[in-house]
Homo-oligomer: A and B are copies of this chain.
Amino acid sequence: MADKPLLRVLAGESVWPPPIWLMRQAGRYLPEYREIRAGAGDFIALCTAPKLAAEVTLQPIRRFGFDGAILFSDILMVPWALGHGLRFAEGEGPILPKFLDTPGLSALSLDRLDREVAPILETVSRVAAGLKAEGHDHTALIGFAGSPFTVACYMVEGGGSKDFAETRRLAYADPALFSGLIDLLVEATVRYLSAQVVAGAETVMLFDSWAGVLSPSLFRAHVIRPTASIVAALRSRFPGLRIIGFPRLAGAMLAEYVATTGVDAVAMDTSVDPVRASAELPASVAVQGNLDPMALLAGGEALSEQALSILNATRGRPAIFNLGHGIVPQTPPAHVGALVELVRGA
Protein backbone atom coordinates (compact mmCIF):
# COMPACT_ATOMS: atom_id res chain seq x y z
CA MET A 1 0.00 0.00 0.00
CA ALA A 2 2.81 2.45 0.82
CA ASP A 3 4.04 1.96 -2.76
CA LYS A 4 1.03 3.71 -4.27
CA PRO A 5 2.27 7.04 -5.70
CA LEU A 6 -0.50 9.10 -4.09
CA LEU A 7 0.29 7.71 -0.63
CA ARG A 8 4.02 8.24 -1.13
CA VAL A 9 3.34 11.89 -1.93
CA LEU A 10 1.09 12.25 1.12
CA ALA A 11 3.95 10.85 3.21
CA GLY A 12 6.10 13.74 2.03
CA GLU A 13 7.89 12.21 -0.96
CA SER A 14 8.26 14.03 -4.25
CA VAL A 15 7.11 11.71 -7.06
CA TRP A 16 7.51 12.48 -10.78
CA PRO A 17 5.36 12.56 -12.80
CA PRO A 18 2.93 13.45 -10.03
CA PRO A 19 -0.05 11.22 -9.24
CA ILE A 20 -3.32 12.52 -10.69
CA TRP A 21 -7.00 12.29 -9.86
CA LEU A 22 -9.85 14.78 -10.38
CA MET A 23 -12.46 16.12 -7.99
CA ARG A 24 -15.92 14.75 -9.06
CA GLN A 25 -14.15 12.32 -11.43
CA ALA A 26 -17.10 9.95 -10.91
CA GLY A 27 -19.85 12.06 -12.37
CA ARG A 28 -22.10 13.33 -15.10
CA TYR A 29 -19.39 13.99 -17.72
CA LEU A 30 -19.13 10.19 -18.09
CA PRO A 31 -21.83 8.43 -20.17
CA GLU A 32 -21.37 5.24 -18.11
CA TYR A 33 -22.17 7.28 -14.95
CA ARG A 34 -25.26 8.87 -16.50
CA GLU A 35 -26.55 5.42 -17.41
CA ILE A 36 -26.32 4.14 -13.82
CA ARG A 37 -27.60 7.44 -12.41
CA ALA A 38 -30.70 7.27 -14.62
CA GLY A 39 -31.70 3.90 -13.21
CA ALA A 40 -30.80 4.53 -9.57
CA GLY A 41 -33.71 6.59 -8.27
CA ASP A 42 -32.71 9.80 -6.53
CA PHE A 43 -29.23 10.93 -5.65
CA ILE A 44 -29.35 9.75 -2.03
CA ALA A 45 -30.54 6.35 -3.21
CA LEU A 46 -27.43 6.12 -5.39
CA CYS A 47 -25.15 7.20 -2.50
CA THR A 48 -26.62 4.50 -0.26
CA ALA A 49 -26.66 1.65 -2.82
CA PRO A 50 -23.24 0.04 -2.19
CA LYS A 51 -23.08 -1.93 -5.42
CA LEU A 52 -23.97 1.05 -7.63
CA ALA A 53 -21.92 3.59 -5.67
CA ALA A 54 -18.88 1.31 -5.83
CA GLU A 55 -19.42 0.82 -9.55
CA VAL A 56 -19.48 4.58 -10.32
CA THR A 57 -16.43 5.09 -8.05
CA LEU A 58 -14.52 2.56 -10.17
CA GLN A 59 -15.70 3.80 -13.61
CA PRO A 60 -13.18 6.65 -13.99
CA ILE A 61 -10.37 4.40 -12.72
CA ARG A 62 -11.07 1.92 -15.51
CA ARG A 63 -11.24 4.65 -18.13
CA PHE A 64 -8.31 6.85 -17.07
CA GLY A 65 -6.25 4.85 -14.56
CA PHE A 66 -6.31 7.64 -11.97
CA ASP A 67 -3.99 7.37 -8.96
CA GLY A 68 -6.85 8.07 -6.56
CA ALA A 69 -10.36 6.59 -6.39
CA ILE A 70 -12.54 8.85 -4.28
CA LEU A 71 -15.60 7.31 -2.67
CA PHE A 72 -18.76 8.31 -4.56
CA SER A 73 -20.84 10.10 -1.95
CA ASP A 74 -21.86 13.60 -0.88
CA ILE A 75 -20.63 16.05 1.76
CA LEU A 76 -24.19 16.22 3.13
CA MET A 77 -24.44 12.54 4.07
CA VAL A 78 -23.39 13.50 7.61
CA PRO A 79 -26.41 15.74 8.35
CA TRP A 80 -28.58 13.19 6.54
CA ALA A 81 -27.26 10.38 8.76
CA LEU A 82 -27.60 12.54 11.89
CA GLY A 83 -31.32 12.82 11.14
CA HIS A 84 -31.35 16.43 9.96
CA GLY A 85 -33.15 15.63 6.71
CA LEU A 86 -31.94 16.12 3.14
CA ARG A 87 -33.29 15.82 -0.34
CA PHE A 88 -31.99 16.72 -3.78
CA ALA A 89 -34.44 18.51 -6.08
CA GLU A 90 -33.72 18.12 -9.79
CA GLY A 91 -31.59 21.04 -10.96
CA GLU A 92 -31.87 22.87 -7.62
CA GLY A 93 -29.22 21.24 -5.49
CA PRO A 94 -29.68 20.07 -1.90
CA ILE A 95 -32.70 21.09 0.18
CA LEU A 96 -32.56 20.74 3.98
CA PRO A 97 -34.64 21.99 6.90
CA LYS A 98 -33.21 25.25 8.26
CA PHE A 99 -31.37 24.54 11.52
CA LEU A 100 -33.13 27.35 13.40
CA ASP A 101 -36.53 25.91 12.40
CA THR A 102 -35.66 22.48 13.87
CA PRO A 103 -35.48 21.34 17.51
CA GLY A 104 -31.72 21.93 17.12
CA LEU A 105 -28.88 19.84 18.49
CA SER A 106 -31.19 17.56 20.50
CA ALA A 107 -32.68 16.21 17.25
CA LEU A 108 -29.30 15.12 15.89
CA SER A 109 -28.09 11.68 16.92
CA LEU A 110 -24.56 10.32 16.70
CA ASP A 111 -25.86 6.80 17.33
CA ARG A 112 -28.19 7.19 14.39
CA LEU A 113 -25.24 8.36 12.27
CA ASP A 114 -23.29 5.23 13.17
CA ARG A 115 -26.18 3.10 11.88
CA GLU A 116 -27.17 5.12 8.81
CA VAL A 117 -23.71 5.29 7.26
CA ALA A 118 -23.48 1.48 7.07
CA PRO A 119 -24.24 1.32 3.31
CA ILE A 120 -21.61 4.00 2.64
CA LEU A 121 -19.04 1.98 4.55
CA GLU A 122 -20.04 -1.07 2.53
CA THR A 123 -19.34 0.97 -0.60
CA VAL A 124 -15.84 1.71 0.72
CA SER A 125 -15.20 -2.02 1.26
CA ARG A 126 -16.53 -2.85 -2.17
CA VAL A 127 -14.31 -0.26 -3.84
CA ALA A 128 -11.27 -1.55 -1.95
CA ALA A 129 -12.06 -5.08 -3.13
CA GLY A 130 -12.82 -3.87 -6.65
CA LEU A 131 -9.51 -2.02 -6.99
CA LYS A 132 -7.69 -5.18 -5.97
CA ALA A 133 -9.78 -7.52 -8.12
CA GLU A 134 -9.39 -5.36 -11.22
CA GLY A 135 -5.64 -4.90 -10.72
CA HIS A 136 -5.62 -1.13 -10.08
CA ASP A 137 -2.65 -1.63 -7.80
CA HIS A 138 -1.37 1.93 -7.97
CA THR A 139 -4.75 3.53 -7.18
CA ALA A 140 -5.32 4.69 -3.59
CA LEU A 141 -8.81 4.72 -2.08
CA ILE A 142 -9.77 8.18 -0.77
CA GLY A 143 -12.50 8.61 1.83
CA PHE A 144 -13.97 12.03 2.53
CA ALA A 145 -16.36 14.19 4.47
CA GLY A 146 -17.53 17.78 4.35
CA SER A 147 -15.89 19.94 6.99
CA PRO A 148 -18.04 20.98 9.94
CA PHE A 149 -18.28 24.61 8.82
CA THR A 150 -19.38 23.79 5.28
CA VAL A 151 -21.89 21.21 6.51
CA ALA A 152 -23.20 23.76 9.05
CA CYS A 153 -23.61 26.28 6.20
CA TYR A 154 -26.07 24.01 4.40
CA MET A 155 -27.86 23.12 7.63
CA VAL A 156 -28.35 26.76 8.64
CA GLU A 157 -29.32 28.10 5.20
CA GLY A 158 -31.38 25.05 4.25
CA GLY A 159 -29.42 24.69 1.00
CA GLY A 160 -26.81 26.45 -1.09
CA SER A 161 -26.25 30.18 -0.99
CA LYS A 162 -24.16 32.85 -2.69
CA ASP A 163 -22.35 33.86 0.49
CA PHE A 164 -23.98 31.98 3.40
CA ALA A 165 -24.90 35.28 5.04
CA GLU A 166 -27.38 33.76 7.50
CA THR A 167 -24.73 31.30 8.70
CA ARG A 168 -22.27 34.13 9.33
CA ARG A 169 -24.97 36.16 11.07
CA LEU A 170 -25.74 33.25 13.39
CA ALA A 171 -22.03 32.72 14.13
CA TYR A 172 -21.81 36.37 15.26
CA ALA A 173 -25.19 36.64 16.95
CA ASP A 174 -25.22 33.33 18.86
CA PRO A 175 -21.65 32.03 19.09
CA ALA A 176 -22.53 29.44 21.76
CA LEU A 177 -25.24 27.82 19.64
CA PHE A 178 -23.16 27.90 16.45
CA SER A 179 -20.07 26.48 18.19
CA GLY A 180 -22.26 23.76 19.68
CA LEU A 181 -23.34 22.75 16.18
CA ILE A 182 -19.74 22.81 14.94
CA ASP A 183 -18.58 20.69 17.90
CA LEU A 184 -21.27 18.08 17.24
CA LEU A 185 -20.22 17.97 13.58
CA VAL A 186 -16.57 17.53 14.62
CA GLU A 187 -17.54 14.44 16.63
CA ALA A 188 -19.74 13.14 13.79
CA THR A 189 -16.97 13.69 11.23
CA VAL A 190 -14.39 11.87 13.36
CA ARG A 191 -16.74 8.88 13.75
CA TYR A 192 -17.64 8.85 10.05
CA LEU A 193 -14.07 9.16 8.75
CA SER A 194 -12.75 6.63 11.28
CA ALA A 195 -15.34 4.15 10.02
CA GLN A 196 -14.28 4.83 6.43
CA VAL A 197 -10.64 4.09 7.34
CA VAL A 198 -11.66 0.87 9.08
CA ALA A 199 -13.65 -0.07 5.96
CA GLY A 200 -10.64 0.42 3.70
CA ALA A 201 -10.05 4.11 2.93
CA GLU A 202 -6.28 4.65 2.62
CA THR A 203 -6.43 8.43 3.09
CA VAL A 204 -9.20 10.94 3.79
CA MET A 205 -10.01 14.41 2.52
CA LEU A 206 -11.96 17.16 4.31
CA PHE A 207 -13.93 19.43 1.95
CA ASP A 208 -14.45 22.93 3.32
CA SER A 209 -16.06 24.32 0.19
CA TRP A 210 -17.28 27.55 1.81
CA ALA A 211 -14.35 28.38 4.09
CA GLY A 212 -13.70 31.44 1.90
CA VAL A 213 -16.84 33.32 2.99
CA LEU A 214 -15.49 33.82 6.51
CA SER A 215 -13.76 36.74 8.19
CA PRO A 216 -10.39 35.77 9.73
CA SER A 217 -11.78 35.47 13.27
CA LEU A 218 -14.64 33.17 12.16
CA PHE A 219 -12.19 31.25 9.93
CA ARG A 220 -9.99 30.55 12.95
CA ALA A 221 -12.95 29.59 15.14
CA HIS A 222 -14.95 27.48 12.68
CA VAL A 223 -12.48 26.22 10.06
CA ILE A 224 -9.05 25.95 11.71
CA ARG A 225 -10.14 24.89 15.21
CA PRO A 226 -12.52 22.08 14.14
CA THR A 227 -10.14 20.86 11.43
CA ALA A 228 -7.31 20.66 13.97
CA SER A 229 -9.58 18.67 16.32
CA ILE A 230 -10.54 16.22 13.58
CA VAL A 231 -6.93 15.75 12.48
CA ALA A 232 -5.76 15.20 16.07
CA ALA A 233 -8.53 12.69 16.82
CA LEU A 234 -7.97 10.71 13.61
CA ARG A 235 -4.22 10.70 14.06
CA SER A 236 -4.40 9.42 17.61
CA ARG A 237 -6.54 6.52 16.42
CA PHE A 238 -4.71 5.88 13.10
CA PRO A 239 -1.11 7.06 13.51
CA GLY A 240 -0.11 6.49 9.88
CA LEU A 241 -3.22 8.08 8.33
CA ARG A 242 -2.61 10.98 5.93
CA ILE A 243 -5.22 13.73 5.78
CA ILE A 244 -5.89 16.17 2.93
CA GLY A 245 -7.56 19.50 3.78
CA PHE A 246 -9.42 21.64 1.25
CA PRO A 247 -10.23 25.09 2.65
CA ARG A 248 -11.67 26.47 -0.58
CA LEU A 249 -11.02 30.18 -1.21
CA ALA A 250 -9.08 30.47 2.06
CA GLY A 251 -6.96 33.06 0.23
CA ALA A 252 -4.26 34.55 2.42
CA MET A 253 -5.36 32.29 5.30
CA LEU A 254 -4.08 29.17 3.49
CA ALA A 255 -0.61 29.19 5.09
CA GLU A 256 -2.06 29.61 8.57
CA TYR A 257 -4.50 26.74 7.91
CA VAL A 258 -1.62 24.48 6.89
CA ALA A 259 0.57 25.55 9.81
CA THR A 260 -2.08 25.10 12.50
CA THR A 261 -4.43 22.25 11.49
CA GLY A 262 -1.84 19.48 11.09
CA VAL A 263 -3.05 18.34 7.65
CA ASP A 264 -0.54 16.36 5.57
CA ALA A 265 -1.65 17.89 2.30
CA VAL A 266 -3.64 20.87 1.18
CA ALA A 267 -5.87 21.03 -1.88
CA MET A 268 -5.41 24.36 -3.66
CA ASP A 269 -8.49 25.92 -5.21
CA THR A 270 -8.31 27.47 -8.67
CA SER A 271 -7.45 30.94 -7.37
CA VAL A 272 -4.24 29.80 -5.61
CA ASP A 273 -0.95 30.63 -7.34
CA PRO A 274 0.90 27.28 -7.26
CA VAL A 275 4.26 29.07 -7.60
CA ARG A 276 3.62 31.10 -4.47
CA ALA A 277 2.06 28.17 -2.56
CA SER A 278 5.01 25.91 -3.40
CA ALA A 279 7.40 28.54 -2.11
CA GLU A 280 5.46 29.46 1.03
CA LEU A 281 4.11 26.16 2.32
CA PRO A 282 6.40 23.76 4.23
CA ALA A 283 8.23 21.32 1.93
CA SER A 284 6.88 18.42 3.98
CA VAL A 285 3.25 19.27 3.19
CA ALA A 286 1.92 18.01 -0.13
CA VAL A 287 -0.02 20.36 -2.40
CA GLN A 288 -2.88 19.16 -4.58
CA GLY A 289 -4.48 20.92 -7.51
CA ASN A 290 -5.30 23.19 -9.11
CA LEU A 291 -6.28 23.29 -12.77
CA ASP A 292 -9.31 25.46 -13.51
CA PRO A 293 -12.17 23.10 -14.55
CA MET A 294 -12.99 25.71 -17.21
CA ALA A 295 -9.53 25.25 -18.78
CA LEU A 296 -10.25 21.50 -18.87
CA LEU A 297 -13.61 22.21 -20.49
CA ALA A 298 -12.01 24.59 -23.04
CA GLY A 299 -9.29 22.05 -23.90
CA GLY A 300 -6.59 22.66 -26.52
CA GLU A 301 -3.91 25.25 -25.91
CA ALA A 302 -5.47 26.70 -22.76
CA LEU A 303 -5.54 23.25 -21.16
CA SER A 304 -1.89 22.47 -22.01
CA GLU A 305 -0.65 25.90 -20.95
CA GLN A 306 -2.45 25.88 -17.62
CA ALA A 307 -1.57 22.26 -16.82
CA LEU A 308 2.11 22.76 -17.70
CA SER A 309 2.39 25.86 -15.55
CA ILE A 310 1.04 23.91 -12.55
CA LEU A 311 3.40 21.00 -13.25
CA ASN A 312 6.35 23.40 -13.46
CA ALA A 313 5.35 25.20 -10.28
CA THR A 314 5.04 22.04 -8.19
CA ARG A 315 7.94 20.00 -9.59
CA GLY A 316 10.44 18.93 -6.96
CA ARG A 317 8.02 18.97 -4.04
CA PRO A 318 5.32 16.52 -2.91
CA ALA A 319 2.42 17.29 -5.23
CA ILE A 320 -0.73 15.66 -6.58
CA PHE A 321 -2.21 16.89 -9.84
CA ASN A 322 -5.92 17.68 -9.64
CA LEU A 323 -8.46 20.33 -10.50
CA GLY A 324 -9.03 23.41 -8.33
CA HIS A 325 -12.75 22.60 -8.17
CA GLY A 326 -14.96 19.74 -9.39
CA ILE A 327 -15.06 18.73 -13.06
CA VAL A 328 -18.15 20.10 -14.79
CA PRO A 329 -20.71 17.85 -16.53
CA GLN A 330 -20.14 19.40 -19.99
CA THR A 331 -16.47 18.35 -20.02
CA PRO A 332 -15.65 16.04 -22.98
CA PRO A 333 -14.08 12.84 -21.58
CA ALA A 334 -11.46 13.17 -24.35
CA HIS A 335 -10.15 16.33 -22.64
CA VAL A 336 -9.65 14.32 -19.45
CA GLY A 337 -7.78 11.67 -21.44
CA ALA A 338 -5.55 14.35 -22.96
CA LEU A 339 -4.83 15.81 -19.52
CA VAL A 340 -3.87 12.44 -18.05
CA GLU A 341 -1.57 11.82 -21.01
CA LEU A 342 0.02 15.24 -20.60
CA VAL A 343 0.64 14.77 -16.86
CA ARG A 344 1.92 11.20 -17.26
CA GLY A 345 4.27 12.36 -20.03
CA ALA A 346 5.65 15.27 -18.00
Q: Which residues of A contact B (CB under 8 A)?
A: 162-163, 165, 168-169, 171-173, 175, 212-219, 249-254, 270-277, 290, 292-295, 297-298, 300, 302-303, 305-306, 309, 324-325, 328
Contact = CB atoms under 8 A, between A and B. Distances in A.
Given A162-B162, A214-B271, A295 B249 contact: no
27 contacts: A163-B325, A165-B294, A168-B292, A168-B294, A169-B294, A169-B298, A172-B292, A172-B302, A172-B306, A173-B302, A212-B271, A214-B271, A215-B290, A216-B271, A217-B305, A217-B306, A218-B292, A219-B271, A249-B249, A249-B251, A249-B271, A250-B251, A251-B252, A251-B271, A252-B252, A252-B273, A252-B277
A171 B292 CA distance: 12
Given A165-B293, A175-B302, 12 more contacts: A165-B328, A173-B298, A212-B212, A213-B271, A215-B290, A216-B273, A218-B292, A249-B249, A249-B271, A251-B271, A252-B271, A252-B277
A275 B309 CA distance: 31
Closest 9 A-B residue pairs measured CB to CB?
A251-B251, A172-B302, A172-B298, A168-B294, A173-B298, A216-B273, A169-B294, A215-B292, A172-B295
A163 to B, nearest CB: 8
A12 B111 CA distance: 59
A273 B249 contact: no
B309 A270 contact: no
B249 A212 contact: yes
A310 to B, nearest CB: 9
